Homo-oligomer: A and B are copies of this chain.
Amino acid sequence: MWVESDKFHDECGVVGIFGHAEASNLAYLGLYSLQHRGQESAGIASVDEGDVKVEVGMGLVADVFTSARLERLPGNMAIGHNRYSTTGESHVKNAQPCVIKYSHGSLALAHNGNLVNADGIREQLVEAGSIFQSTNDSEVVLHLIAQSQAESLVERVTEALSQVQGAYSLVLMSENEIIAARDPHGFRPLVLGEVDGAPVVSSESCVMDLIGAKYIREVKPGEILRINDKGVTSYSPFPSVEPKKCIFEHIYFARPDSVLFGEYVYNVRKRMGKTLSEQAPVDADIVVPVPDSGNLSALGYAEASGIPFEMALIRNHYVGRTFIEPQSQIRHFGVRVKLNAVKELIVGKRVIIIDDSIVRGTTSRKIVKMMREAGATEVHVRISSPPSLYSCFYGIDTPTSEELIASTHNLEETRKFLTADTLEYLDLNRMLEVMQDDNKHFCTACFSGDYPVTPHQGEPSNQLPLFGGEATSVPEEESLPKPVS
């Protein structure tokens, strides 16, 4: 029933810091500023005198980590992980970092992403006698590292990662070094910074701002960083492929104050709003964002169109802090529990409602209805991204295509469902033009169905029904990309 429950969700945030006396405290703060990337569990591992300590728990970072718990994480190296999980049960056994013992000692892993060939590799490992205690991709990676005969950790990691396909931005920690790696397509973000001379890696640059670190640069797609007493060494061991950075990070996931793929998210979102106003203008009296996801595109739309920006949907800031279960008889209160309209601003007005995306459409429909009840004479819905048609296999939690309204309804049907006067999505091409990246190296699979890496190895033809079989506008089979490997 929450607004956020009708959004795509990121699955994880990671952080790593090497050579700082307060490593685990900084990892804690880092996870804190990455809380939007995962709220199910949080964990930190540190190395103290050659001994890997780990503390994980279910819940928000600030709930999991008491002072006492942070004190159990001494040492000057630490990695951390936030998890938002959809697959399987929520269970502390699935929380990361995952720590193992293998032939070269201890290894801790924090992983953001999704490996499309994890099942196949797992099957092979199991055939050969390995045992698995979870269904995490991370356990697959750790087995591959453990079975590598290579001499150095960075080589073992390289060998392991050369066998996997899909999305990963991960941080590994042994007793004496941290390895950071990002997959060749660079689906998920990963950045490098430095505080007090200590290198820091994290999913987003906002971590650097909080801990007072200097942002240095993105970890490049396909790059592996070895961080140890000798400093940061960069490796690019994988064949070069076209980067396919997740554009949805810019649309919704990342924090507006993060520099992502070279640009501030804030600016991208405002430009999307501006472009949307050029593409889909409408004569109206006020521009109203759906808070907070539509705030910046609405600001951009308003500035470009000259139509006044009004924050006429007020958010109850206490919603969602804890779970509430209102009685069934009063369920219809729905989105009002979270949002309320400032009626005087709306009555007699033609209103443009701006949001970043529509998933199931149920929340948007309620917001349109709320506008009408508040007296709006016209309600125009503008979405600052293209219709979401396909599932993501690269680390984002998306509903099945049957649940995506854009996958089962065409534009006019969706508009009717929303009961909006008009509905417009930002065009895919216009959206790409908004980006500074000259070559538009973005993954747009959730909009276009162009999957850079075939989701399930060897059986592409079976995939269609899963993500848009019904849609009349669905791409034909021949348009599907060939497997990359």
Contact = CB atoms under 8 A, between A and B. Distances in A.
A311 B303 CA distance: 13
A479 interface: no
- Which of the listed residues A26, A329, A345 has the most CB atoms from chain B within 10 Å of its own CB? A345
B311 A309 contact: no
Contacts of A310: 299
B131 A318 contact: no
Given A22-B330, A62-B324, A101 B29 contact: no
Interface in A42-79: 60-63, 65-67, 70
A344 B142 CA distance: 39
A479 to B, nearest CB: 36
Interface string A189-230: 000000000000000001001111000000000000000000
Interface string A297-324: 0010001000011111010111001111
A296 B255 CA distance: 22
A143 B341 CA distance: 42
A176 interface: no
Contacts of A87: none
A107 B130 CA distance: 13
B133 A267 contact: no
Contacts of A127: 103
Contacts of A117: none
The complex is assembled from copies of this chain, and their number is 4
A22 B98 contact: no
Given A62-B318, A318-B60, A131 B126 contact: no
Given A101-B133, A292-B317, 20 more contacts: A22-B329, A29-B326, A29-B337, A32-B324, A36-B318, A92-B92, A99-B133, A100-B131, A130-B130, A131-B142, A131-B146, A133-B133, A209-B340, A210-B337, A210-B340, A255-B340, A256-B311, A295-B311, A303-B308, A317-B317
A444 B424 CA distance: 48
A456 interface: no
A440 interface: no
A206 B60 contact: no
A264 B342 contact: yes
A330 B23 CA distance: 11
A456 to B, nearest CB: 18
Nearest to A100: B131
A321 B209 contact: no
Contact of A337 (B32, B70, B264): B32
17 contacts: A22-B327, A33-B340, A62-B318, A62-B323, A65-B324, A70-B327, A92-B93, A103-B127, A103-B128, A126-B146, A129-B143, A210-B336, A212-B333, A255-B340, A257-B341, A292-B317, A299-B311
Contacts of A98: 133
A103 B132 contact: no
